[in-house]
Amino acid sequence: MDGEFRMRMVGRSQRFLAYAAISTLLFGLAAHAEDQSNVPARKDYASVATSLESMIRQAMDDKQLPAFSIALVDGNQIVWSQGFGYQEPDKKIPATAHTVYRVG
């Protein structure tokens, strides 16, 4: 019986450690996502971002869009990302580069 008890305790300890590791990872990712909600334009893309920003704001006005998000990628690096407008206009919650939109 001593061997069975030890095996159960080892199993429980391993599950606890796995759950703790997963929780820590998810918490870290969520915190990082909040810190990185918008990415300022990299210097060599500043003029492009400014031009796009102007076009986006005009299109939002023309189409009466409450929110819009964009990410500009060069290779495997995000060189600019930005949210415009409000993801929840009634609550005045701003859109970010990480805003999830419903389609349809």
Residues 29 and 45 in one domain: no
- The string of DSSP codes covering 45-89 is GHHHHHHHHHHHHHHHHHHT-SEEEEEEEETTEEEEEEEEEEEEG
Q: Are 92 and 85 in contact (CB under 8 A)?
A: no
Residues 57 and 95 in one domain: yes
The domain total for the chain is: 2
Query: What range defines the domain where residue 21 resides?
Result: 1-35
Task: Kindly report the pTM of this predicted structure.
Answer: 0.63
For residues 74 and 53, what is the distance between their CA atoms, to the nearest angstrom?
Answer: 18
Residues 92 and 44 in one domain: yes
Q: Are 72 and 40 in contact (CB under 8 A)?
A: no
Residues 54 and 83 in one domain: yes
Residues 56 and 85 in one domain: yes
Residues 60 and 18 in one domain: no
pLDDT tens readout for residues 60-85: 999 999 999 999 999 999 999 999 99
Residues 60 and 79 in one domain: yes
